[in-house]
Amino acid sequence: MKPFRKTAAGIIKYMLVLLVCIFVLLPFVIMISYSLRTTQNIFSLDHGLIPRQPTLQAYKNAIQSYNFSGSGFGTWSWNSLWVCLIATFIAISFSATMGYAISRFSFKFKKPLWFMIALTQTIPWIIILIPYYMNIAKLGLTNSLGVLMVTYAAVFLPTSAWLFVGFFNNIPIELEEAAKIDGCSQWGIFFRIILPLSVPSISAISLVAFVTGWGDYLFASTMMKRAALWTLPLGLTSFRGEFFIQWAEIMAMSTLVTIPIVILFIYLQRYLVDLMSGGVKG
């Protein structure tokens, strides 16, 4: 009786996992399927997941032909990549040192600082959007990729620091004590021991920060009004006209935006799981 119950429980578990996978993956399958059609075919009776006459015309239009106010896919891709990379680098640089300080040292206002970092995890971006934009506009800093980089870095930093603290807490303090006995300075310990051990963790945290900026529409749409400064999420909205929506091109561009992130997540998934559980094992 017990083997039967165990087998039945296993079957139910795998069926539930299969249903969840189908539920999660189906939108992506539909997106890719629609990207291999024309907009006219999307509104036809061809509603199967596999298009009858697959075509890459939508990709060609989105990448090569499409132009909005003098800008297109190439410009928007470069803006997104440049802004997210710099913002992630700034956030990781500051959050790694902050996380290490909170994990290893005792200093004044340490608990209030840690409380503020934890509190930011509960605050949605939209709450600060209006006052933030009003101040940026008063300073004349709208339509600036540099300001967008700093904005993203400030948004990434608390979450990244919180994740770094959890990882650094799992690094044995004995390694640092041994290094001090050998005459290594505190900065030397951080750069020669802590950071090399943290490469997997840095990779996973960087991915989380990068993806957050890569998919942001809220801040970018508020601060960037010129098409030449748009990021990819803003560029996607330009396919929606007053009388006509280019659905095939939207699906093609969405696929191009999504695939690199999916590849990175697949490559770093082990590090992400370990990171969320409190540390990355070597």
Question: Looking at the predicted structure, is the pLDDT value of residue 237 above 60?
Answer: yes
- Tell me whether residue 134 is in a domain: yes
Nearest-CA neighbor of 229 among 91, 85, 82?
82
Q: Are 139 and 221 in contact (CB under 8 A)?
A: no
Q: pLDDT grade, residue 280 (50/70/90)?
A: very low
Question: Looking at the predicted structure, is the pLDDT value of residue 277 above 60?
Answer: no
What is the Cα–Cα distance from 152 to 122, expressed in whole angstroms? 17
Beta bridge partners of residue 71, listed in sequence order: 68
Question: Looking at the predicted structure, is the pLDDT value of residue 231 above 50?
Answer: yes
pLDDT recorded at residue 8: 73
Which residue range forms the structural domain that includes residue 73?
A: 69-239
Q: Which residue has the higher pLDDT, 275 or 183?
A: 183
Question: Looking at the predicted structure, is the pLDDT value of residue 278 above 80?
Answer: no
pLDDT recorded at residue 78: 92
What is the Cα–Cα distance from 94 to 11, expressed in whole angstroms? 47
- Tell me whether residue 220 is in a domain: yes
The total domain count for the chain is 1
Give the C-alpha distances (Å, rounded to integers) separating 269 from 158, 263, 281: 22, 10, 13
pLDDT in tens, 124-139: 777 888 888 899 889 8
Question: Looking at the predicted structure, is the pLDDT value of residue 122 above 80?
Answer: no
Question: Looking at the predicted structure, is the pLDDT value of residue 89 above 90?
Answer: yes
- Tell me whether residue 25 is in a domain: no
What is the Cα–Cα distance from 222 to 147, expressed in whole angstroms? 12
pLDDT in tens, 138-152: 988 888 899 999 999
Report the chain's mean pLDDT, rounded to a whole number.
Answer: 83
Q: Are 205 and 164 in contact (CB under 8 A)?
A: yes
Residue with tokens 């990171």: 275
Average pLDDT over residues 204-222: 87
Give the C-alpha distances (Å, rounded to integers) separating 30 from 35, 236, 257, 279: 8, 17, 15, 36
What token pair was written down for 140? Answer: 């004349």
- Tell me whether residue 256 is in a domain: no
- Tell me whether residue 99 is in a domain: yes
What is the Cα–Cα distance from 66 to 43, expressed in whole angstroms? 21
Question: Looking at the predicted structure, is the pLDDT value of residue 39 above 50?
Answer: yes
What token pair was written down for 67? Answer: 């132009």
- Tell me whether residue 123 is in a domain: yes
- Tell me whether residue 37 is in a domain: no
pLDDT in tens, 170-188: 888 888 888 888 888 888 8
Which of helix, strand or coil describes residue 240? strand
- Tell me whether residue 83 is in a domain: yes
Q: Which residue has the higher pLDDT, 30 or 244?
A: 30
Average pLDDT over residues 80-104: 91
What is the Cα–Cα distance from 224 to 137, expressed in whole angstroms? 11
45: phi then psi, degrees, rounded to nearest 5? -85, 5
CATH number at residue 177: 1.10.3720.10
